């Protein structure tokens, strides 16, 4: 398998896996770590609010990035997944769908 | 320090906005050969590949600075927005946060498909990825600007 094919499979799989893992991380709060802004402390995994608000965004980014890296590496390595099977349009269709899902998830801010 | 970082964040966002907007226009409506030298024609005639590295670096830097100043927003701005019951600006920022995160995940694909601009098969994917990133950058810029107008620098 050429490097170009492997890279192509990697970037498409990464874009898809990252978008899906990110929305799942947000929906089910699967943050790899929590940042407490008021006390400037990081804590592993999801921790509740203490003195100030708990920030999970950084943890969601970490979860989705690491998860997507692992999935994309696996997909690019597996010979059974051919580059032709992996439509390059997935690199934008899946993130676009996830963006629409976020609009739906946050509709309570806009529709009252 | 936060004010300084916020200004740098805004300046980087302006540069990113210019780069991605030019690239999107030239990807979707390239100038025909021998087009007149009007402002619009010149904007359409820019080589879109020349913006790729600039967009990648500016997007990453702008997002990084945004991530650094985010706790200050969470502590000083969002709480006020909630107290003032400003739901739409609050929701618009929530969307910005998620859109920017999704944009980060699209950057490797954006880089890859622009790396081979001569491959016609990828033309649609290249153009749509660029347009999506342009939408995210515009959304982030406008929402950031509106929120800054609401809350100010909190000096």
β-bridge pairing A54-55 and A33-36: antiparallel
Count residue pairs from A and B with Cβ separation < 8 A. 104
Average pLDDT, chain B: 89
Instruction: Tell whether the torsion through CA atoms of A105, B92, B103 and B44 is positive or negative.
Output: positive
pLDDT digit string (tens) for A25-50? 999 999 999 999 888 889 999 888 87
Distance CA A17, CA B144 (A): 28
- Higher pLDDT: A16 or A76? It is A16
CA-based Rg of chain A, rounded to a whole angstrom?
Answer: 17
State the pLDDT confidence band at B68, using cuts at 50, 70 and 90: very high
Confidence (pLDDT) at B102:
98
> CA–CA distance from A52 to each of A36, B11, B72, B83, B152 (Å)?
7, 30, 12, 16, 22
- Higher pLDDT: B137 or A50? It is B137
How distant is the alpha carbon of residue A77 from its chain centre? Answer: 20
Confidence (pLDDT) at A27:
96
Chain B: closest CA distance from residue A60 (Å): 9
Q: Which long-range contacts (CB under 8 A, 24 or more apart) does B86-89 make?
A: B86/B150, B87/A108, B87/A109, B87/A110, B87/A112, B88/A109, B88/A110, B89/B143, B89/B146, B89/B147, B89/B150
β-bridge pairing A41-44 and A54-55: unpaired
Distance CA B108, CA B115 (A): 11
Q: B92 and A96: CB-CB below 8 Å? A: no
Q: Is A47 left (phi over 0), alpha (psi -120 to 50) or beta?
A: beta
B67 touches chain A (CB under 8 A): yes
Confidence (pLDDT) at B69:
93
**Which chain B residues are within 8 Å of A11, Cβ to Cβ?**
108-109, 111-113
Q: Which residues, 6 or more positions from A78, have their beta carbon under 8 angstroms from its beta carbon?
A: none
Q: B132 and A19: CB-CB below 8 Å? A: no
Confidence (pLDDT) at B2:
84
H-run or E-run covering A43: strand A41-44
**Which chain A residues are within 8 Å of B79, Cβ to Cβ?**
53
Q: B74 and A53: CB-CB below 8 Å? A: yes
Sheet of A54-55: strand order equals A41-44, A33-36, A54-55
Three-state secondary-structure class, residue B97: helix
State the pLDDT confidence band at B36, using cuts at 50, 70 and 90: low
Of A18, A57, A109, nearest to B97 by CB-CB distance is: A57
Confidence (pLDDT) at B116:
79
Closest CA in chain B for residue A60: B101
Instruction: Tell whether the torsion through CA atoms of B17, B22, B23 and B29 is positive or negative.
Output: positive
Task: Give the mutation candidate from A95, A103, A106, A110 for the B interface (greatest B CB count, under 10 A).
Answer: A95
Q: A11 and B132: CB-CB below 8 Å? A: no
Confidence (pLDDT) at B155:
46
Confidence (pLDDT) at B154:
56
**Which chain B residues are within 8 Å of A15, Cβ to Cβ?**
105-106, 108-109
| ipTM score | 0.92
């Amino acid at each position: 398998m050429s490097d170009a094919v492997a890279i192509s499979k990697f970037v498409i799989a990464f874009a898809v896996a990252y978008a899906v893992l990110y929305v799942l991380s947000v929906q089910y709060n699967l943050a790899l770590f929590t940042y407490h802004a008021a006390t400037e402390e990081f804590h592993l995994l999801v921790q509740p609010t203490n003195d100030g608000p708990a920030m999970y965004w950084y943890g969601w980014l970490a979860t989705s990035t690491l998860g997507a890296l692992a999935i994309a590496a696996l997909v690019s390595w597996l010979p059974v997944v051919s580059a032709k099977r992996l439509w390059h349009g997935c690199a934008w269709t899946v993130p676009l769908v996830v963006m629409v899902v976020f609009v739906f998830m946050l509709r309570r801010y806009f529709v009252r | 320090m936060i004010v300084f970082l916020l200004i740098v964040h805004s300046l980087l966002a302006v540069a990113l906005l210019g780069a991605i907007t030019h690239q999107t226009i030239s990807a979707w409506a390239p100038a025909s050969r021998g087009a007149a030298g009007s402002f619009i024609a010149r904007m359409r005639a820019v080589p879109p590949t020349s913006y790729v590295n600039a967009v990648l670096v500016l997007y990453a830097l702008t997002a990084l600075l945004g991530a650094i100043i985010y706790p200050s927003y969470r502590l000083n701005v969002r709480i006020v927005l909630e107290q003032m019951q400003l739901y739409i600006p609050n929701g618009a920022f929530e969307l910005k946060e998620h859109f920017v995160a999704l944009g980060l995940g699209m950057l490797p694909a954006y880089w890859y498909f622009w790396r081979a601009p001569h491959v016609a098969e990828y033309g649609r994917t290249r153009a749509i990825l660029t347009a999506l990133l342009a939408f995210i950058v515009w959304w982030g810029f406008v929402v950031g600007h509106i929120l800054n107008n609401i809350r100010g620098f909190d000096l």
